Amino acid sequence: MKTLFTMGAAPPNPRSHPYPARVRACRVLALTVGAALAVACGDTNPPAASYDSIGSSSSSSSSSSSSSSSSGSTSTEDAGGGMDAGTSDAADASDAYVPPPPSQCNPTMSLGATTKVLGESATDERFAGITRDERTIAWTAGGSVYIADRDSADGTFGAPQLVTSSAVADGVAISHDGTYLVAVGADRRSFLPFEREERTGAFAAASDAPFATLIDTLDATESIGDPVFVNSEVVLLYSVYGKSADTFRLAGRISIFASFFPSSTLAFEELRAQGTARRRPTGTGDDFQTIFYWDEVTQTEKLARLNGSEQILSVQDLGARPWAQTNASCDRVYFGAGDLAFATAK
């Protein structure tokens, strides 16, 4: 991933480093919505719809395109009132449909046999997250969050470590290196961040300042949940529910030193709540062209294939494998309620 700017030498624990005042300006929001989301989707061949336009409706995008075309036509008329042919051809080409590049995760995947990863589990345990390298796993049991580490993707997980007992049974966003995680507070209106200096260390409470703006934007009737980090923690996918049926939200920031700002709502019919039954994000591919989500309507896990912010191209039903997340190569999917397990993606 490209670095957007240099912030100087990182302290031993970079997420504890105060966010420089020179960056706390209004331009942060613009950079967050545009650059951070674009970076999260990869440096090359982004989806057809750029991520700096996420949240704009199709109609507004069409209007903007029409306005731009009209403006361009006016400015390129020659003295005889004719249109410059080259400009006209370019405008037609820009309006043509551009299919998205192949996604990292197979959008029509099926899952093989289930393999338990933690032996026997309590009935109230639910899978909550795993690092891309598969070396740190998180789960909840009631209001408690636990993690376990291992030396390799095929190794045995060590003893469970209790992170907090002040959370709610929900997803847990975990950094790619397993040193930072974010749980959902018991009030369902707060994010609870924790950090450790190294992977073998114990977690301690971290500052919740990076999430303050997300919390401040909540309506009195709204709750939050289902946090998922995208790419290297510069984008957060999460849920806001209790008011609108469109509950999938994105927030971005320009680096792991920065605060998150809400950037868009994924207002797709396939992701929309039906009454109190929600569709809940559980994971993504690193290229953000696929989203895993638990469908409370059908009680199955699903995989949606995105075309940027324009549409969902397909939805694959993965069956009763709740709270799924994938590894870095998207060939192994972790999930579970009761038993924490994985299956090979085909």
Would you say 230 and 288 are in contact if contact means Cβ atoms under 8 Å apart?
A: yes
For residue 317, which of 338, 343, 292, 281 has the smallest C-alpha distance? 292
| pLDDT value at residue 87 | 54
Strand order in the sheet with 332-335: 111-116, 341-345, 332-335, 325-326
Number of Cβ within 10 Å of residue 304's Cβ equals 23
Would you say 184 and 170 are in contact if contact means Cβ atoms under 8 Å apart?
A: yes
DSSP 193-224: EEE-SSTTS--EE---GGGHHHHHT--TT-EE
**3-class SS of residue 300:** strand
| pLDDT value at residue 86 | 55
Would you call 244 exposed, middle or buried from its count of C-beta atoms within 10 A (0-12, 13-18, 19+)?
middle
Give 115's strand partners. Answer: 342
Give the model confidence (pLDDT) of 72-92 as tens digits. 433 333 344 444 555 555 555
- Taking 3-state DSSP, the helix, strand and coil percentages for the chain, each rounded to the nearest 5, stand at 20, 35, 50
| Segments of the chain scoring below 50 in pLDDT | 1-14, 16-83
Q: Which amino acid is at 25?
A: A
For residue 111, which of 322, 337, 329, 318 has the smallest C-alpha distance? 318
Give the integer Cα–Cα distance in Å for 118 and 235.
Answer: 29
| pLDDT value at residue 32 | 35
Q: Is the pTM of this model over 0.85?
A: no
Give 90's strand partners. Answer: none
- DSSP designation for 153: T
Residue with tokens 């309006």: 95
Phi, psi of 176, deg, nearest 5 = -65, -25
